[in-house]
């Protein structure tokens, strides 16, 4: 399989007045053609900053301070803005959570899509129109030719997100980073978009990074799962294996705290405490203060352990209940 | 059994503001079209003491409006809301403190310039539930009960995390010693691990205080976990109501069925990915709902009658009501077996 994206020891830090916030602190992963990678974590875990870093969208006081991002073999870290711009939207694109904020309310969909197309390609009006209709059809917008001259407010929330997705598809990028793209949508609309994204990845070979706080949504889409906590990847592996047999206590806790995991009316298994402030992280494993398996050794940074295609970062991993088939 | 809480054929309409030009035109005899939205359309339900009713639906279905009507903080256009046979609202004013509400956003529901202890004490003092002298001890006691350090009463809201703020909001509602607690998406803005803590707190307090609850949420798994009964809303109407596990296991209304099928589920004992089915189409605009059943344009079971008449909410099984002319066959079968 061909690797389209390879991220190695990525570090994005924010230099604030109160100190250095290590929002992303040594994240590594790779992505193959047509693969959907799920990136889960709670607020403040660094999942969104990871996504932003991939597109070079981190603003001051944030900065990528280490690591590499290889997109089709070319390192994006340290690339001048002009060269990044030439890639953004063409080779790697992003879908954001809030489609109201991503679309310009004053411009028609046609204008916005033409601008995005003309940024990377020379096309005449007719070519532009046929390409726009093409991608709008792909994301399931009924009667796309007629909707081209509509303004964003004339679309419903779900349709607006489809338009935003269509714009990212204009140049058929190799990688799409989707940051909580269905969080603001209703379940019935979310289901429509999820199943369309899945078939898109299958048909076009576009690789996707699906960032979300919702384990259930990610697990229905992603073949591989990356669990983040306080700027670090604490567990990685094939989705079904990670869910069935998590090695890191945090992953276990996340799964167990879902209401679906308990009998109705019974108390849920909860993770005690709250996510630590990134400004004053505990020494060693950041999850240790909330972890019921923690011991003295946990004040030292756990080194990542690997087995087959799985990785976890814990001194006291959960036992493997059965051999990996 | 006496009826503890009753929402009886309640409707709430919202009218758009009429412009001055339109007002003059209508005075002069011109026909001005005013379009109103029935956010809640002829809804009835009852709650027995100690029971929790979950109210689910997608955005715009009217579940929050119904919550406000039930809480007596929004006036009904038609119909009445009764607590112990007495209306909860009279002449535009709330008549009882026995109903309290916890809202979704703990950042918006607390005054940023007021110490949280004062915010919790304000209501009970104003309603003579506690004297000013005893208020501090009273509030500290409530802080302890919701799992907050009693010494935190002198702090301001910005010094707390989202989960802690939601605990404060719960303490503030419960300090009024309500009999009915209305929770409008109380865990929607919280992280999963914090969400579990708040749900556990809610379950514990409900048991300790024998609270009756209306629990509004779009999250089906949360509602399934906390409710005894569940009501499903679509476009201002309740389309199905019944005992929680029965509704989830054996939905009668095609919308409930479709809604349940479209939720991504976490299945741990399978090696392949779980498939889910999407409902086709979108929720119609409440400004111009379709004639007949509102779900008809998206419904796979649609029949002739559906596009003409709106089906009434009728008893379709043991403690079960649904508003549908053509209830899918698999429901009836399972129902007879039970």
CA distance A93 to chain B (A): 25
Residue-level pLDDT at A183? 82
Mutate to test the interface with A, among B256, B262, B294 (most CBs of A within 10 A): B262
Crossing angle, helix A187-204 and helix A157-169, to 10 degrees? Answer: 10
A168, A191: one domain: no
A213, A232: one domain: yes
Q: Is A187 at the interface with chain B, CB within 8 A?
A: yes
Residue from the list A220, A268, A274 with its beta carbon closest to the beta carbon of B274: A220
CA distances from B205 to A158, B4, B60, B170 (A): 38, 20, 30, 10
**Pairing assessment for the beta strands A175-179 and B86-87 based on DSSP bridges:** unpaired
Residue from the list B164, B200, B221 with its beta carbon closest to the beta carbon of A260: B221
CA distance A68 to chain B (A): 30
Residue-level pLDDT at A322? 46
Please provide residue A243's backbone torsions phi and psi, each rounded to the nearest 5 degrees. Answer: -70, -40
A152, A250: one domain: no
CA distance A211 to A94: 11
Q: Which of A174, A271, A175, A279 is nearest to A227 (CA)?
A: A271
Residue A220 CB contacts under 8 Å (≥ 6 apart), including other chains: A194, B264, B265, B273, B274, B275, B276
A27, A72: one domain: yes
Give me the mean pLDDT over the B53-74 stretch. 91
pLDDT class for B275, splitting at 50, 70, 90?
low
DSSP string, A285-296: -TTGGG-TT--G
A113, A28: one domain: no
* DSSP H or E stretch at residue B231: strand B229-234
Answer yes or no: are the C-beta atoms of A144 and A103 closer than 8 Å.
no
The Cβ-side half-sphere exposure at A306, using a 13 Å CA radius, reads 3
Residue-level pLDDT at B27? 79
Chain B partners of A194 at a C-beta cutoff of 8 Å? 264, 276, 278
Tokens of residue B237, six digits: 């109407």
> pTM of the full predicted structure?
0.85
* DSSP H or E stretch at residue A85: helix A81-87
A188, A166: one domain: no
A135, A213: one domain: no
A277, A215: one domain: yes
**pLDDT per position as a tens digit, B307-322:** 999 999 999 988 899 9
CA distance A17 to chain B (A): 18
CA distance A38 to B253: 34
CA distance B338 to B333: 9
For residue A18, is it within any domain?
A: yes
pLDDT of B68 higher than 90: yes
Q: Is A159 at the interface with chain B, CB within 8 A?
A: yes
CA distance B199 to chain A (A): 8
For residue A324, is it within any domain?
A: no
CA distance B175 to chain A (A): 23
> Which of A145, A172, A199 is a domain's end point?
A172
**pLDDT per position as a tens digit, B319-330:** 899 999 998 888
DSSP string, B68-116: HHHHTSS--SEEEEEETTEESEETTEE--SSEEEE-S-TTTSS-TTS-H
Q: Which of A54, A83, A81 is nearest to A69 (CA)?
A: A54
DSSP string, B106-170: TTTSS-TTS-HHHHHHHHHHHTTSS-TTTHHHHHHHHHHHTT--GGGGGS-GGGS-HHHHHHHHH
Chain A partners of B161 at a C-beta cutoff of 8 Å? 274
Residue from the list A240, A258, A259 with its beta carbon closest to the beta carbon of B271: A240
Tokens of residue B88, six digits: 């909860």
Q: If you search the block for the tokens 């033409």, which residue do you land on?
A: A114
**pLDDT per position as a tens digit, A104-119:** 999 999 999 999 999 9
Residue from the list B196, B245, B274 with its beta carbon closest to the beta carbon of A270: B196
Give the residue numbers spanning the domain of A82.
3-91+173-261+270-319
Tokens of residue B95, six digits: 């008549």
For residue A218, what is the nearest residue in chain B, using CA coordinates? Answer: B264
Residue A64 CB contacts under 8 Å (≥ 6 apart), including other chains: A10, A11, A12, A53, A56, A58, A77
Please provide residue A3's backbone torsions phi and psi, each rounded to the nearest 5 degrees. Answer: -85, 125
The Cβ-side half-sphere exposure at A83, using a 13 Å CA radius, reads 8
How many domains does chain A divide into?
A: 2
Q: Is A274 at the interface with chain B, CB within 8 A?
A: yes
Residue from the list B58, B191, B245 with its beta carbon closest to the beta carbon of A188: B58
* DSSP H or E stretch at residue B276: none
Residue-level pLDDT at A184? 77
> Which of A172, A193, A227 is a domain's end point?
A172
> Which of A172, A204, A233 is a domain's end point?
A172
For residue A282, is it within any domain?
A: yes
CA distance A241 to A321: 11
Residue from the list B266, B276, B277 with its beta carbon closest to the beta carbon of A258: B266
For residue A41, is it within any domain?
A: yes
pLDDT of B126 higher than 80: yes
A253, A138: one domain: no
Residue-level pLDDT at B307? 92
CA distance A159 to chain B (A): 9
Residue from the list B164, B194, B278 with its beta carbon closest to the beta carbon of A188: B278
For residue A325, is it within any domain?
A: no
A177, A203: one domain: yes
Interface touch A257/B282, C-beta < 8 Å: no
For residue A244, is it within any domain?
A: yes
Please provide residue A9's backbone torsions phi and psi, each rounded to the nearest 5 degrees. Answer: 50, 45
CA distances from B271 to A238, A309, A325 (A): 10, 15, 11
> Per residue of chain A (325 residues), what is the pLDDT tens digit?
689 999 999 999 999 998 899 999 999 999 999 999 999 998 889 999 999 999 999 988 999 999 999 999 999 998 999 999 999 999 999 999 888 888 999 999 999 999 999 999 888 999 999 999 999 988 888 888 889 999 998 888 888 998 999 999 999 999 999 998 888 788 888 888 888 888 888 888 899 999 998 888 888 889 999 999 999 999 999 998 999 899 999 999 999 999 888 888 899 998 988 888 888 888 899 999 999 999 999 999 999 999 889 999 999 999 876 434 3
Please provide the average confidence, as pLDDT, over all residues in chain B.
88
**Pairing assessment for the beta strands A232-238 and A224-229 based on DSSP bridges:** antiparallel
Interface touch B244/A194, C-beta < 8 Å: no
State yes or no: cis peptide before B221, omega within 30 of 0.
Answer: no
Long-range contacts at B335-338 (CB < 8 A, ≥ 24 apart): B335/B250, B335/B252, B338/B246, B338/B250
Chain A partners of B163 at a C-beta cutoff of 8 Å? 274
For residue A202, is it within any domain?
A: yes
Interface touch A264/B224, C-beta < 8 Å: yes
Distance of CA B126 to the CA centre of its chain: 27
Give the CATH number for residue A39: 3.40.50.300
Residue A295 CB contacts under 8 Å (≥ 6 apart), including other chains: A315, A316
Mutate to test the interface with B, among A48, A228, A265 (most CBs of B within 10 A): A265
Residue B18 CB contacts under 8 Å (≥ 6 apart), including other chains: B26, B32, B34
A47, A178: one domain: yes
For residue A97, is it within any domain?
A: no
H helices then E strands: how many in chain A?
A: 11, 12
A143, A39: one domain: no
């Amino acid at each position: 399989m061909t690797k389209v994206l390879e991220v190695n020891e990525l570090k994005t830090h924010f230099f604030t007045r109160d100190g250095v916030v290590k929002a992303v602190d040594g994240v590594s992963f790779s992505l193959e053609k047509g693969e959907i990678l799920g990136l889960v974590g709670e607020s403040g875990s660094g999942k969104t900053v990871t996504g932003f870093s991939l597109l070079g969208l981190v603003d001051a006081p944030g900065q990528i301070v280490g690591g590499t991002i290889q997109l089709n073999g070319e390192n994006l870290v340290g690339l001048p803005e002009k060269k990044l711009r030439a890639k953004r939207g063409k080779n790697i694109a992003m879908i954001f959570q809030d489609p109201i904020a991503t679309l310009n309310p004053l411009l028609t969909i046609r204008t916005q899509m033409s601008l995005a197309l003309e940024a990377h390609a020379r096309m005449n009006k007719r070519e532009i129109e046929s390409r726009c209709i093409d991608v709008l059809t792909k994301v399931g917008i009924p009667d796309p030719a007629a909707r081209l001259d509509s303004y964003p407010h004339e679309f419903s929330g779900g349709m607006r997100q489809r338009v935003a997705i269509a714009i990212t598809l204009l140049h058929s990028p190799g990688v799409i980073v989707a940051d909580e793209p269905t969080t603001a949508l209703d379940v019935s609309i979310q289901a429509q978009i999820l199943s369309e994204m899945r078939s898109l990845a299958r048909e076009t070979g576009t690789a996707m990074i699906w960032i979300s706080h919702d384990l259930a949504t990610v697990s229905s889409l992603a073949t591989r799962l990356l669990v983040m906590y306080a700027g670090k990847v604490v567990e990685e592996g094939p989705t079904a294996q990670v869910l069935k047999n998590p090695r890191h206590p945090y992953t276990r806790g996340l799964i167990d705290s879902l209401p679906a995991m308990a009998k109705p009316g019974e108390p849920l298994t909860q993770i005690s405490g709250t996510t630590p402030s990134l400004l004053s992280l505990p020494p060693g494993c950041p999850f240790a203060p909330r972890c019921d398996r923690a011991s003295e050794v946990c004040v030292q940074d756990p080194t990542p352990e690997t087995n087959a295609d799985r990785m976890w970062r814990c001194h006291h991993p959960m036992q493997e209940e059965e051999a990996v088939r | 059994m006496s009826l503890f809480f009753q929402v009886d054929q309640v409707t709430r309409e919202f009218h758009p503001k009429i412009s001055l030009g339109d007002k003059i035109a209508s005075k002069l005899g011109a026909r001005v079209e005013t379009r109103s939205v029935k956010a809640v359309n002829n809804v009835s339900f009852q709650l027995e003491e100690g029971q929790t009713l979950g109210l689910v639906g997608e955005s715009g279905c009217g579940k929050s409006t119904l919550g406000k009507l039930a809480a007596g903080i929004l006036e009904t256009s038609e119909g009445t809301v009764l607590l112990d046979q007495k209306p909860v609202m009279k002449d535009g004013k709330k008549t009882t403190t026995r109903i309290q509400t916890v809202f979704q956003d703990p950042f918006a529901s607390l005054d940023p310039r007021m110490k949280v202890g004062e915010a919790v004490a304000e209501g009970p003092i104003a309603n003579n539930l506690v004297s000013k002298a005893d208020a501090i001890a009273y509030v500290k006691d409530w802080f302890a009960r919701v799992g907050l350090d009693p010494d935190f009463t002198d702090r301001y809201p910005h010094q707390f995390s989202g989960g802690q703020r939601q605990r404060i909001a719960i303490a503030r509602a419960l300090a009024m010693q309500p009999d009915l607690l209305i929770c409008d998406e109380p865990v929607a803005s919280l992280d999963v691990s914090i969400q579990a803590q708040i749900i556990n707190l809610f379950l514990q307090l409900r048991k300790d205080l024998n609270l009756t609850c209306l629990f509004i949420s779009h999250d089906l798994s949360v509602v399934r976990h906390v409710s005894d009964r569940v009501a499903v809303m679509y476009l201002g109407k309740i389309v199905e109501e019944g005992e929680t596990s029965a509704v989830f296991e054996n939905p009668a209304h095609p919308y409930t069925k479709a809604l349940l099928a479209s939720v991504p589920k976490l299945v741990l004992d399978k090696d392949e990915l779980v498939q889910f089915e999407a409902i086709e189409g979108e929720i119609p605009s409440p400004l111009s709902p379709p004639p007949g059943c509102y779900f008809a344009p998206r419904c796979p079971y649609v029949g002739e009658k559906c596009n003409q008449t709106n089906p009434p909410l009728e008893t379709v099984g043991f403690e079960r009501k649904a508003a549908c002319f053509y209830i899918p066959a698999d429901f009836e079968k399972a129902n007879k077996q039970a």
